[in-house]
Amino acid sequence: MRLPRPLRALRHRDFRLFWCGQLVSLSGTWMQSLGQSWLVLELTNSPFRLGLLTALQFGPFLVLSFFTGVLADRLPKRRLLTCTQATLLLQAATLSILVSSGHVRYWHVAVLAACAGIVNTLDMPARQSFIVEMVGKEDLLNAIALNSAAFNAARVVGPAAAGFLIGRYGVATAFALNAGSFVAVIAALWWIRSEGLSQGPVRASLLDQVAEGLRYAVQTPRIVMVLALLFTTSLCIFNYNVVVPLLAKDVLHQDAHGFGVLMAMLGTGALVGAVALTVLATSRPPFTFILAAATVVSVATLGLGLARQFWMAGTLLFVMGLSGIVFMTSCNTTLQLGVPDRLRGRMMSLYTLVFVGTTPIGSFLIGSIAGGAGPKGAFIAGGGLSLAFVVVIALWRRARRRRIAVEPPPTPAA
């Protein structure tokens, strides 16, 4: 199938089906995310309980990611994803029924959010590692960029649609439509021919396989550096839902509309970055490219601490969205191409652990700094810490390359 170069990964039939299903489902997921937050505020009017819900949803990644990565390597990924997507469909449908019947309580929402978090710890590494098996290593970066474009397009469309539907038909509609959106993914998985590689019968225990994946990551300097950068930026920078509302309200004195525009600038920047990657990137990005993207997002975050005008804040958020998606996509591609096929699920579990699992910790850390030093202090601290760590990693890499250059090659055995 002949397609323009930016869409070349879509020439693979299985990935084309998968991507279209994901595009529909992600819009529903964003609708549910907004609807769930709105529902909690309606039920409790408590920011603390809203924050607790986030911890329940992302906390399982800190505990389970190592083990779910092994399962993603052991089991056929197509069947595994069919099960996880069907479970998430039931979760959304249950929430819709509880709300529409008038029986919903906060603990219902909390338990269902925790269930979704547990299922996603298995779904995310399986989904990420399945991509390369549908498109091959040559088109992996383009496929990941297309996935990022779909994710960020859904981030714009989903909340906008949810706001309209919740206002007119009630919050249960958002949950019902999200449940329906999973049908698209399940149907796509049904038609996909690739089963997703599995290891077959494995004699090693679950803990032994976890240890094998960790040893490989620790003993591979490039992977260590990528994960370290990802951990720092996730902890210090990717906490937009905490700091951007404070920036809009307390610094720029904007209402809900102004906050929406700022978040739209962030999403638009991410979408532009993802689309640019589909056009320009062709292979595994060099490590200097990852360092450059991390530097830009760190400096832009520092700049937000000094922003006083709405247009300046919007511009910096656009730059943060663009450089942030370039950074994350490059890290994802580097990790997937830097491991043997049998370890890819475990490596993607480390990726989700570092990227998603740090969300509750980073939100608490940056939120605490914002509470003491204000939003400006939070941006300066987050951007400054991230930038300092980028410099440390760059110096470490430079020293290592120099050491390798001067070391004599090993003497061949006689």
Q: What is the mean pLDDT of residues 338-361?
A: 81
- The residues, any chain, with a CB within 8 Å of residue 22's CB and separated by 6 or more, are 147, 150, 185, 188
283-321 tens-digit pLDDT: 677 888 899 999 999 999 999 888 888 889 899 999 998
Q: How far apart are CA 45 and CA 63, in angstroms?
A: 29
Q: First and final CA of the chain: distance in angstroms?
A: 54
pLDDT-derived band at 5, boundaries 50, 70, 90: low
Q: Mind listing the domains of the chain with CATH numbers? A: 1-196 (1.20.1250.20), 205-404 (1.20.1250.20)
User: Which position has the token pair 């906490």?
Assistant: 239
The b-or-e profile of 137-174 (16+ CB within 10 A means b, else e) is eebbbbbbbbbbbbbbbbbbbbbbbbbebbeeeebbbb
* Residue recorded with tokens 């700049």: 303
pLDDT at 246 over 70: yes
Structure confidence at residue 256 (pLDDT): 60
pLDDT value of position 414: 39
Band (pLDDT 50/70/90 cuts) for residue 408 is: low
Q: Are 343 and 356 in contact (CB under 8 A)?
A: no
pLDDT, position 276 = 83
Structure tokens at 287: 């490590």
Residue 45: other Cβ atoms inside 10 A = 9
Candidates 258, 251, 263; CA nearest to 306 is 251
- Mean pLDDT over 44-48 rounds to 74
Which tens digit of pLDDT belongs to each residue from 189-240?
Answer: 999 988 876 655 566 677 788 888 888 888 888 889 999 999 998 888 887 7
List, in order, residues 6 or more apart from 243 with CB less than 8 Å away: 366, 367, 370, 375, 378, 379, 382
Sign of CA dihedral 271, 59, 173, 124: positive
The answer, yes or no, to whether residue 131 has pLDDT greater than 80, is yes
Q: How far is CA 330 from the centre of its chain?
A: 13
Across all residues in the chain, what is the average pLDDT? 83
The pLDDT score that the predictor gives to residue 98 is 95
Q: Would you say 189 and 18 are in contact if contact means Cβ atoms under 8 Å apart? A: yes
C-alpha 324/C-alpha 330 separation (Å) is 10
Q: How confident is the model at residue 336 (pLDDT cuts 50, 70, 90)?
A: confident
pLDDT of 300 reads 93
**Both structure tokens of 82:** 């069919």
Position 282 scores a pLDDT of 61
Contacts of 403 (CB under 8 A, 6+ apart): none
Range in 25-29, 184-188, 247-251, 380-384 the model is least confident about: 247-251
Tokens 């941006």 locate to 379
- Token look-up 């689309």 returns 275
Query: Cβ distance 323 to 297 under 8 Å?
Result: yes
**Residue 301 to residue 295: CA distance in whole angstroms:** 10
Tokens of 374: 């204000």
- The single residue listed with the structure tokens 């399962």 is 71
- What does the alpha-carbon distance between residue 118 and residue 68 come to, in Å, rounded to a whole number? 10
Compute CA distances 364 → 55, 251, 360, whole Å: 10, 20, 6
